[in-house]
Amino acid sequence: MPDTPHYINHRKRLRERFRKSGADGMHDYELLELLLTFSIPRRDVKPVAKKLISEFGGLSGVLDADQKKLEELQGVGSMSAALIRLVKELYNTYLAENMKRGDVLSSPETVLKFVRVRLSGMTNEAFMVIYMNVKNEVIDYSILHEGTIDNVAVYPRRIIESALSRHASGVILVHNHPSGNPMPSREDKALTRDIADAAITLDIRVLDHIIVGKDGYFSFLEHDLLSAAKT
């Protein structure tokens, strides 16, 4: 009888550790390695997991990578790339569902978690609107504009029209800075003011404008800049 490949027992130990304690005490590459065992059944996947972590700068970079870039890495393949992307999309959906439960102004961290995961890993700028009802509950969200690595064209009229079509009474504006620095530019402040001016004429409230990046986030509400935007 041939010897059992060494990685078979290693996989069993990984799964048992995860079954007993979840991610506690496991390295990022071990979590990724465990995930890859479901798409690569007959190979030692530890080198592949470590290569992914190294290539994309960490586990978050792996989850943010697009399918083509994942597939280009030797040893990954289309099935593993799709599985990695599926994990990210499932997490996005989980956070989106949590965000829709209750008054988001009383639990703003649910919005922050969602928008940071959804936008911070994008390589181009994108502008999202989260639509609220009179109880400050999320009724929908959408990415209205996508641009280049350092610019996105945003039209206040389209934002207002999209809010009206959903019968929203309030909106949270969100966009990303792919450079990583979430501090608002002069143009970001002017845009917020323009949108707030257009919204207030139709009794739509701009509840916040959040900018997300790899280095964190910036909230106009937290920095008391919304009142300035509305004047």
HSE at residue 110, side-chain half, CA atoms within 13 A, is 19
HSE-CB of 12 using CA atoms within 13 angstroms = 5
pLDDT tens by residue, 126-158: 999 999 999 999 999 999 888 777 777 788 999
Q: Are 37 and 16 in contact (CB under 8 A)?
A: no
Residue 4 is predicted with a pLDDT of 62
Per-residue model confidence as pLDDT tens digits over 83-128: 999 999 999 999 999 998 888 887 889 999 999 999 988 888 999 9
- In the sheet with 170-176, reading across from the earlier edge strand, the strands are 138-146, 126-132, 170-176, 205-213, 216-219
What is this structure's pTM?
0.83
The whole-number average pLDDT for the span 183-196 is 93
Which helix (H) or strand (E) segment holds residue 170: the answer is strand 170-176
53 — phi, psi (to 5°)?
-60, -45
Q: Is the pLDDT of residue 231 over 70?
A: no
* Domains recognised in the chain with CATH numbers: 6-93 (1.10.150), 103-229 (3.40.140.10)
Q: What angle do CA 169, 98, 62 make, to 5 degrees?
A: 115
| pLDDT tens digits, one per residue of 21-80 | 999 989 999 999 999 999 998 889 999 999 999 999 999 999 999 899 999 999 999 999
